[in-house]
Structure formats: structure tokens, C-alpha cells
């Protein structure tokens, strides 16, 4: 790990070079998680305090929840000075909510976990020990089993990770989600990356440094329903392939090459028939060929259009997210959150000082 981490303020020996900042930040994106929030906080607190005593912060990001998640967060924050709350203006999606939390995190280490408790927070201790023992910058969770998930989701996830890994330009670990422990320099580098369509686990792999797996069994969701239905899974897969693989463009090129080969065969067949046989060309085969070629042309144009559209959205340089409220964040965290938002802090977005820090 880098030289920016010195001292020993916990049993694992991680401390920030700037005194007063926490040894670890736990970042949790939340969307409609009111039923499981209390259990999440209880288990996370126990796990973090067992490893880092009271030298920590919990960064909860409300991604535009439509239930009582924000009210539950506020109630918890009123009794716990370790909580840092961020409320986004709408549902921006899991990856952008996670980016907002990473931008505000001030710890020497950053622990990323989902609010559904499928990834056990009790694994923080073993993961921190692995990070220390191997001198790594990232310890990512590698799923051995996925409890409580349908056969379709298990099979589709396995196929997605393997296809992406084979086609990506970087080494992407199989069966790894966003559950991971990382050093602050990884988190800051991640936030600084300009992508609008973000695939966090791929971006972490792209950053590099030493990254090691930690095998575990994923639990069933504690409460509520999944926030990743088929539509969101397809959207995430699209971000992954468009952001880390040239497979769509290469597929279009391969199809074009195949069509060209078919056209050569058809031309040879037509010439031979014209020279040696008294054959009247049929319009059926011609129409089939024209229709097929036209369809593939449109498919290729659609792939190119998707890339052009993403370039267009990136060039507009809109904020990754818009923050509605924050509670408990220090000025340094506010500044970092503003940079991640790609816009200056202003009174129209940010609440008064009484809510920023107590």
C-alpha cells in the first residue's frame, strides 16, 4: 500500500496520514431499504467496532428512496455521530449512488457493502487482515454461492461475467460484485474517473495496484425485494460491455465479414449458373438476401449509434448526481462530494450548516 497510510489506530494498523480523519469509511448505497436499515446499522456497527473501535464513519446514500428510508436514516443519525447521510435528488442508480458515497468518504480504508445484507458485514475483519497481510490495495469479495437467487439469475450472472472477462481489455475477476475493501487512493482515483455510464467493479480493476480475492458465500436478502430486476441487470451489462469491451463493435465487424463471404459465394453461384445452366434467377432468394443484409446493416448502425450516444452524453458533462441534502459531513467531505458532483456547492442544493455537521 502507499506511503499515505501511517500510524496504528486499530488492531490492523491502518490510519490516515492526516490526523482527525477516520481509519475506515463504510459506504452503503440505499434505495427503499426502510425495513432492513436498522438491522444493517446494527450489524455494520458491531463489525466495524470489533476491528476499528470507534475510529470509523458510516456513509449512507439515499438514492431517491420512495419509502421511509431517509426518515430512518435521520433518526439513526440523531443518536449516532458516526453517521454521514447523503440524499440524492432522485433515483440515479446504484453505481452513481455508490460514487457519491465514495466521493464523501474520508477514511484511510473504504468498505463498500450493499444495504440488503446479502454480503455479510462480519467479513470486514478477515478482509482487513487479508489486505494487511498481502499488502494489497483492494480485497474484493468472490462469490462461491448465491443464496436466495433464482436459477435464471445465477445462470445469467455466470454467463455475463465469463463473457465479459473473455472479451474485456483488462483482467476482470469472475463472480465479483461491488462488495470490497479498498484503500483511499483507490476510492479517490475511482471518483476522479470521468465516466458517466459507470461499472464500478470494472473501473476498480482498470485502476490496477494489487487486488486480491476473498471467497465467501452470499446470503439471501434480509428484507424487501431486489433492486436489480431484469431491466437493471441488462442496463448494468450494457454499461459493462460498452465501457470495458470492444465486443459489440468487433461482433459487428465479424458479421460484416460473414455477409461479405456469403455475397462472394452467391456471386460465384450466379456466374456459374449463368455460364453453364439455363436457369432463371428466383426473386425469393434475392429478397431473402437483401432483407438479411439490410437487417444486419441496421444492427451494425444500432451498435455504432449506441457508442455515439454515449460519447454525446459524456461530452455534455452533466453532473453524475445531484445532492438534495447532507447530514454530518465535514467541510472536506462536502468539497469532495461537490467535485464528484462536477458542480460547485450552492445554497440551492446544500442545506444550512446546522445539518452539515453537528
pLDDT bin (cut points 50, 70, 90) of residue 135 is very high
Render pLDDT for 287-299 as a digit per residue (tens, 0 to 9).
Answer: 567 666 766 776 7
- The C-alpha cell at 222 is 434480509
Is the predicted pLDDT of residue 244 greater than 60, yes or no? Answer: no
Residue at grid coordinates 478477515: 126
pLDDT in tens, 331-358: 888 877 877 665 554 433 444 333 444 4
Q: Quote the pLDDT of residue 175.
A: 75
Q: What percent of the chain has pLDDT over 70?
A: 60
**What does pTM read for this prediction?**
0.69
Residue-level pLDDT at 100: 92
Which segment of 52-56, 135-139, 186-190, 277-281 scores lowest on mean pLDDT? Answer: 277-281
**d(C-alpha 346, C-alpha 355), whole Å:** 14
Condensed to tens digits (0 to 9), the pLDDT of residues 266-309 reads 667 766 766 777 656 665 566 567 666 766 776 777 777 667 76
The rounded distance, in Å, linking the Cα atoms of 235 and 251 is 19
Q: How far is 42 from 164, CA to CA, in rounded Å?
A: 36
Amino acid at each position: 500500500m502507499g506511503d499515505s497510510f501511517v500510524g496504528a489506530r486499530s488492531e490492523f494498523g491502518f490510519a490516515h496520514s492526516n490526523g482527525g480523519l477516520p481509519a475506515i469509511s463504510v459506504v452503503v448505497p440505499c434505495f427503499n431499504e426502510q425495513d432492513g436499515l436498522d438491522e444493517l446499522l446494527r450489524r455494520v456497527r458491531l463489525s466495524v467496532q470489533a476491528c476499528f473501535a470507534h475510529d470509523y464513519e458510516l456513509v449512507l446514500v439515499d438514492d431517491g428512496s420512495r419509502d421511509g428510508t431517509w426518515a430512518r436514516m435521520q433518526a439513526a443519525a440523531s443518536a449516532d455521530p458516526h453517521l454521514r447521510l447523503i440524499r440524492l435528488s432522485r433515483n440515479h442508480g446504484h453505481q452513481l449512488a455508490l460514487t457519491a458515497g465514495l466521493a464523501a468518504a474520508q477514511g484511510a480504508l473504504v468498505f463498500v457493502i450493499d444495504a440488503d445484507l446479502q454480503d455479510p458485514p462480519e467479513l470486514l475483519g478477515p478482509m482487513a487482515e487479508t489486505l494487511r497481510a498481502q499488502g494489497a490495495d483492494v480485497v474484493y469479495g468472490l462469490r462461491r454461492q448465491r443464496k436466495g437467487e433464482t436459477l435464471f439469475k445465477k445462470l445469467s450472472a455466470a454467463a455475463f461475467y465469463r463473457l465479459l472477462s473473455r472479451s474485456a481489455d483488462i483482467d476482470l475477476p469472475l463472480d465479483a460484485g461491488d462488495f470490497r475493501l479498498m484503500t483511499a487512493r483507490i476510492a479517490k482515483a475511482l471518483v476522479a474517473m470521468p465516466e458517466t455510464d459507470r461499472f464500478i467493479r470494472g473501473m476498480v480493476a482498470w485502476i490496477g495496484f494489487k487486488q486480491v480475492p476473498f471467497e465467501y458465500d452470499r446470503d439471501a436478502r434480509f428484507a424487501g425485494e431486489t433492486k436489480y430486476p431484469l431491466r437493471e441487470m441488462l442496463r448494468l451489462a450494457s454499461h459493462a460491455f460498452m465501457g470495458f469491451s470492444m465486443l459489440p463493435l468487433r461482433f459487428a465487424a465479424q458479421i460484416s465479414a460473414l455477409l461479405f463471404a456469403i455475397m462472394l459465394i452467391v456471386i460465384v453461384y450466379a456466374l456459374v449458373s449463368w455460364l453453364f445452366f439455363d436457369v432463371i434467377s428466383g426473386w425469393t432468394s434475392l429478397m431473402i438476401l437483401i432483407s438479411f443484409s439490410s437487417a444486419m446493416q441496421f444492427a451494425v448502425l444500432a451498435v455504432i449509434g449506441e457508442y455515439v450516444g454515449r460519447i454525446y452524453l459524456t461530452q455534455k458533462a452533466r453532473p453524475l448526481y445531484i445532492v438534495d441534502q447532507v447530514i454530518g459531513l465535514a467541510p472536506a467531505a462536502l468539497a469532495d462530494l461537490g467535485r464528484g458532483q462536477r458542480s460547485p456547492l450552492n445554497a440551492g442544493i446544500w442545506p444550512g450548516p446546522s445539518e452539515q455537521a453537528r
